[in-house]
Amino acid sequence: SVNPDLASERQTPSFCVERLTALLDGGAEQTRIRRAVVEAIESDPVFSRENQYFQTQNERYEAAVRKAVHLQKRMHEMGWAENGPEYVYIYRALSGDVAFLLHRVFMRSISVLGSDEQVAKWIPLATQHQLIGSYAQTELGHGTYLQGLETTAVFDTATQEFILNTPKISAMKWWPGDMGRSATHTVVFAQLYIHGKCYGIHPFIVQIRSLQDHSLCPGITAGDIGPKMNFEHTDNGYLLLKNVRIPRENMLSKFCEVQPDGTYVRQGSQQINYFTMTAVRISLISDEVLMPLMKACTIAIRYSAVRRQSKLKPGEQEAKILDYQTQQEKLLPQLAAAYAFHFVNDYLQELFNRGYREIQRKNFDMLPELHALSSGFKAVITQHCTAGVEICLRACGGHGYSLLSGLPSLYTKILASCIYEGENTILLLQTARFLIKCFMAASAGQPVPPSVTYLAAVKHRKCPAKNKLDFLSPDIYTEAYQHVAVRLTSSTAAKLQDLIQSGVNKHDAWNQCTVQLVQAAKAHCHYIAVKNFAETVEKLETKAGIQKIMKHLCDLFALHGIFSNTGAFLHDGYTSAAQMDMVTASYLDLLAVIRKDAVPLVDAFDFTDKSLNSALGSYDGHVYQRLYEWAQKSPTNQMSPAYERYLKPLLHNTLSKL
Amino acid sequence: AAAMSVNADLRRERAAATFQPQLLTHILDGGPERTRRRKEIEALVLNDPDFQHEDLNFLSRSQRYEQAIRKSSLMVMKLREYGIADPEEIYWFKSFVHRGRPEPLDLHLGMFLPTLLTQATPEQQDRFFMPAWNLEIIGTYAQTEMGHGTVHSINALSKNGFVYRGVPCLGRTVSYFLMQVALSVAGITVGDIGPKFGFDEMDNGYLKMDNFRIPRENMLMKYAQVEPDGTYVKPVSDKLTYGTMVFIRSLIVGDSARSLSRACTIAIRYSAVRHQSELKPGEQEPQILDYQTQQYKLFPLLATAYAFHFVGAYIKDTYHRISGDISKGDLSELPELHALTAGLKAFTSWTANAGIEECRMACGGHGYSRCSGIPDIYVTFTPSCTYEGENTVMMLQTARFLMKSYTQVTSGQQVTGMVSYLNDLSRQRIQPQHVAARTVTMRINDPTSLVEAYKSRAARLVESAAKNLQAELNHRKSKEDAWNRTSVDLVRASEAHCHYVIVKLFTDKLAEVSDAAVRAVLTDLCLLYALFGISRNAGDFLQAGILTGAQITQVNQHVKELLAVIRPNAVALVDSFDFHDVHLGSVLGRYDGNVYENMFEWAKKSPLNKTQVHESFHKHLKPMQAKL
């Protein structure tokens, strides 16, 4: 039976929960397929995550390998094809807790960077798992700055081989997943040298372990890089190469080739590489970033409806903590953000698909805009959602700190997303570079991509809102966001020009403006997110209360952004002090409105208890019983040797005196 | 690895500093003599082979607990052997033994003993205190229940010995009972609550009691009492029972400073050693500390760490001063102290919590590895946002005091202490809608002028919250409803008050610094702290009409100029915190800066690397490949 405190929350939702779930999935049919996949995976004991919180790094790694191997079998049995409609839900159902994820990156890099012959040779082997691949790009000393990588590959014309070396300690490959213990092969990125001349970074396929007994190949030193905040199931590895020789054919040569006599030939356009990065950044948003935030919201909001603490009124029962305004102010904006970014993700996917079609027609015009948006949003969404998960964690008080709440592992996992696939600050600066360029072009009357045409448009100089209800109008708040984005971009562009005109070197000038540039890029993304949410709401079905509740969340997302960054909106007087009080009033009113639907809104995410793996967040709300039951399974409750060895001698002599 | 010399980048950084770090260390420690003694105790521990152990990152939770128990037991013996009895010296010793991590006896030393001192009658002290002091009994403090946490506390339970039990009792007071816990005792169910985010060393426990009987004498009865016939005698002041709590909160403020300092030390040293990308084409890759965005992440946090150090010292001094008065029966300063420690506990722990994460993030991918040490600092520190009073609840306690003070002022009474700025409100009535007319001429390079700006902001937010509260009451809302519907405003008011107190205390501290070079660098940090706070909270200053948009632009610009001013002293400023490498526990933050070599050495010890070929190859991979 369901805890009555949670049951009462579900009695009168203002909207149809099932309809909203279907909207999030992209249709009822998708919901059906997803549920079937989740059911198949969760009913299989091999995929259980039940004891995960009690496992050591070694046990986590072994379980992940076991699951990966078992998954191959199950996919075959279920008739789930790679790239079939079920495929996207498998990873989600496993909560990412599976090995050989880099194997797919290995395959993709061969498909994208390899010649037809190379694809024909390696892809079938990889598909059949005759080898296990990894992807070795990052080094101890270099991550973001690829040109700075120090691994070398010297072409030896005499033997028609490349000789790979790690010339110094900082050149060691460091971090690649699946490489510490599992992989037999990896794609190594190294500086190519022919006849003493450096040709820059190129990819090479290198075998690192024996296919017979898994021992390390000659010249290879490899291992696991040690414990991390999370990803204990992944053997992130190091790799040291000493005079490792590979045949000439192992350099991936779709775009660059070294001919037998050492002639270096470049062919085709490398712009497709940027497109790959864009694809990866967009693809991680859904599974790696939105899912953890949605799960964290589900756990924290359900728990807040069950947890009672202190009294709101004397003589009454203790209140649900969800009824405290301060608790609503922590959690509901995170819920709104989860929905907002879900729709941003849809927008980016659509833009990406359009870009992909254009690229197939050899039209690369959309690439700069796509690159700028995917970089900026990767940074903004990962940062926002990471902070959101942490807020959910802390909003659960002491119990949130227990691993059994599920929240610490959601947090330590999502926060890695701020670093991988491009460090966030650097990504925001790439978006800013695009913005400044477009702003200059737009000011000079030149055409710019659609997402930035607003930079040139003339707008109100003052916010026209007259009362607090005006701030529930998407036109009013969207325009406020637009104004801030334009102001930050134009003032930074002006500052940059001033510095350059006063004789500062343009690179120094850029560095001196980077703090402002980052703010401009964030404001741009925030504006697009608000605008996109408002436009999405406009198009939603009015039936079943869906549009109405989404409109509330859109308003909350927008007003929370203003409320928590008032300075940006007040700065040039666009919004007055009196208007800011209206924003605050409207914002706080909304919290009470959305509060009523808070539990149905997280129910709509449709996570099973197994996928939440949380003693606090289960659908039935029996929090305390579950915490107690799970705690008793803790290995620390086996009698500890510490008492016999240390405490007993300390206590024993005098205990009897009492 | 030990023989390696100091990394050339760090050598250069240290040579370029404009002040002597050790003079600043003396200020942080409270005088050269305190520094000398601290280092003496540090050496006692670090040179003691009994306290050596394997890197904790590679141990399981059970192993970590066992190591911690071993060291704690030894520690108690050695404290006695060396005759170390001063609480601060015990704290240092403990912190070096456990390298800044929690330890199983924390609750015994930190809660059980002080509570016995403050809550037990003289007879109870005779019976329990000395045995506890001699570790003949091991105590804990069991207040939190599964369903109830606030007002406090983390809840540890040793597997044997005595337990100290507070239950909500007789209405509004909490009483304290002493009881013994043993696994074999009927009526008691006890165990470990399972794995947590951090605190692996601590066996946080659960305790279930079923008609468990203890004698009447085991209720601590210095204040509240139960007589043999069941008559309940109320304590003189409810507030008295919160003495331990106030003390512990003041420690958390100091802990916020120290934890943030450790994270800053690691991130700033690493940023001086790490080279990446290019500022100008063709030039050598710069130290990442030269990027403005990196400075903008780290230097305000460095300034914050210093600010919190001085706040922690101030609270400790005030506590000692006031507790003297309390024992003489003078409770007049207790309400403000209580309000101040609640808010400052919340303010500093929230800020430090976020700051530690920013430091980790500023170290990029390597920050995510446990070898950076920052994950451990974070998981150890983050529960302080919850224990000893959940932060939002703490902020609302401060707000209650602020509202009371505001009401006093509006009814014509004067208030004293840190809230005395509210007295000015009655003189220059602030209008409901503010115009730029009140804009002050702010001197951007003068900390005292910035203190005034913070004062105005606090006054405006306190007033605004008070008026909103009144407006809700006017709408015939009950007192409690009105309070709840204003609580977001109330928290903001408390934050503004605390922020003002911190800027003021930092500014006051500058006058006490005699060395001109140290004062100069601390003044830069104080300015950065204050200006960055204005920049971040620009909306408050703009909305209240305290500053104009143009002034905010100036503030933003000056923040960036200060980053460049502080840059040459950054490494020396973290060196001044004087954390020993062993205490810092970070490969990235090593004093000698030899980061990469030692990351490799560290990784080799990973449990996954124990065998040449991992057993999962034979168990899973090989069979799979054979089948396909």
Q: Do B136 and A657 touch (CB under 8 A)?
A: yes
pLDDT grade for B432, boundaries at 50, 70 and 90: very low
Contact A404 B195 (CB under 8 A): yes
When pLDDT is cut at 50, 70 and 90, the band that residue B616 belongs to is confident
| Global pTM value | 0.93
Q: Which of residues 337-366 of B touch A (CB under 8 A)?
A: 357, 361, 364-365
pLDDT of residue A312: 80
Q: Which of B285, B602, B608 sits opposite A57 (nearest CB)?
A: B608
Instruction: Name the residue among B154, B478, B485 with its Cβ closest to that of A398.
Output: B154
Query: What pLDDT is stored for residue B439 in this prediction?
Result: 53
Mean pLDDT of chain B: 85
Query: Residue A621: which region, alpha, beta or left (left: phi > 0; alpha: psi -120 to 50)?
Result: left
User: Are the C-beta atoms of B529 and B566 separated by less than 8 Å?
Assistant: no
Contacts with B161 from chain A: Cβ below 8 Å: 647, 651
Model confidence pLDDT, tens digit, residues B511-560: 999 999 999 999 999 999 999 999 999 999 999 999 999 999 999 999 99
CA dist B602 to A87, A232, B586, Å?
A: 38, 16, 10
The per-residue pLDDT for B237 is 60
Which amino acid does the sequence have at B461? L
Whether pLDDT at B334 is above 60: yes
Mean pLDDT over A166-181 rounds to: 96
Name the CA radius of gyration of chain A, rounded.
28
Q: How far apart are CA A596 and CA A14, in angstroms?
A: 8
B197 CB neighbours in chain A (<8 A) are: 401-403, 408
Instruction: Evaluate if residue B164 carries a pLDDT over 50.
Output: no
Determine contact, residues B600/B297, Cβ cutoff 8 Å: no
Report for A267-276, A637-646, B392-401, B435-444: range of highest mean pLDDT: B392-401
CB contact under 8 A, B285 and A148: yes
Residue B446 has pLDDT above 90, yes or no: yes
The 10s digit of each residue's pLDDT in A68-88 is: 999 999 999 999 988 889 998
SS3 A244: strand
% of chain A beyond a pLDDT of 70: 98
Candidates A179, A647, A657, partner chain B, best to mutate (most B CBs within 10 A) = A647
**Cβ(B422)–Cβ(B405) below 8 Å:** yes
A279 or B220, greater pLDDT? A279
Task: Give the residue from A345, A126, A97, A92 showing the smallest Cα distance to A232.
Answer: A97
- Picking from B134, B197, B296, the nearest residue to A515 by CB comes out as B296
**Residue B610 gets which letter from DSSP?**
S
State the architecture of B20-103 in CATH terms: Orthogonal Bundle (1.10)
Q: What is the CA radius of gyration of chain B?
A: 27
State how far residue A388 is from chain B, nearest Cα, in angstroms. 12
Average pLDDT over residues B291-305: 98
Topology (CATH level 3) of domain B157-235: Butyryl-CoA Dehydrogenase, subunit A; domain 2 (2.40.110)
B192 vs A631: CB contact, 8 Å cut-off? Answer: yes
Per-residue model confidence as pLDDT tens digits over B183-235: 445 677 888 888 888 877 777 878 887 877 888 888 877 777 888 888 888 76
Question: What DSSP string describes B396-463?
Answer: HHHHHHHHHHHHHHHTT----GGGTHHHHHHHSPPPSS--GGG-----TT-HHHHHHHHHHHHHHHHH
Most A CBs within 10 Å, among B606, B615, B618, B622, to test the A interface = B606
- Checking ipTM against 0.85, whether it exceeds it is yes
Q: Is B144 labeled as ligand-binding?
A: yes
Tens of pLDDT, residue by residue over A442-486, are: 999 999 999 999 998 767 689 999 999 999 999 999 999 999 999
- Give the model's pLDDT for residue B581: 95
User: To the nearest whole number, what is the mean pLDDT of chain A?
Assistant: 94
Is 1.10.150.20 the CATH number for A132-267? no
Task: Please report the pLDDT score of residue A657 as a whole number.
Answer: 37
Per-residue pLDDT, A404: 96
Size of interface A-B (CB pairs under 8 A): 359
Active site amino acids of B? 388
B158 has pLDDT over 50: no
Distance, in angstroms, between A326 CA and closest chain B CA?
Answer: 6
Q: Is the dihedral of CA A469, A472, A478, A481 positive or negative?
A: positive
Of A262, A184, A258, A192, the closest CA to residue A217 belongs to A184
pLDDT (average), residues B461-474: 96
Residue A14 DSSP one-character state: S
Interface of B with A in 121-160 (CB under 8 A): 127, 131, 134-138, 144, 146-150, 154-155, 158-160
B30 dihedral zone (left: phi>0; alpha: psi -120 to 50; beta): left
Residue-wise pLDDT tens digits, B52-93: 877 888 888 888 888 888 888 888 888 888 988 887 788 889
Closest in B58, B379, B543 to A580, CB measured: B543
Fold adopted by B242-413+448-576: Butyryl-CoA Dehydrogenase, subunit A; domain 3 (1.20.140)
Q: Is A138 annotated as a binding residue?
A: yes
Domain boundaries for CATH 2.40.110.10 within chain B: 157-235
CB contacts under 8 A, B 195-214 vs A, are 195-198, 203, 206
Could you tell me if B277 lies within 8 Å of chain A, comparing CB atoms?
yes
Question: Is B147 close to A624, i.e. CB distance below 8 A?
Answer: yes
Residues of B with CB below 8 A from A54's CB? 194-195
Look at A596 and B132; give whichever has higher pLDDT.
A596
CB contact under 8 A, B364 and A143: yes
Distance from CA of B225 to the nearest CA of A (A): 23
At A559, the amino acid letter reads L
Is 70 exceeded by the pLDDT of residue A521? yes
Is beta strand A185-194 parallel, antiparallel or unpaired with respect to A133-136?
Answer: parallel
Helix H or strand E encompassing B186: none
Chain centroid, CA A314 distance in Å: 45
Measured between CA atoms, the residue of chain A closest to residue B374 is: A229
CA–CA min distance A242, chain B (Å): 16
Cα–Cα dist A230/A337, whole Å:
24
Instruction: Give Cα separations from B533 to A84, B357, B396, B502, B559 (angstroms).
Output: 52, 18, 21, 11, 10
Contact at CB, B560 and A515, closer than 8 angstroms: yes
Residues of A in contact with B158 (CB under 8 A): 647
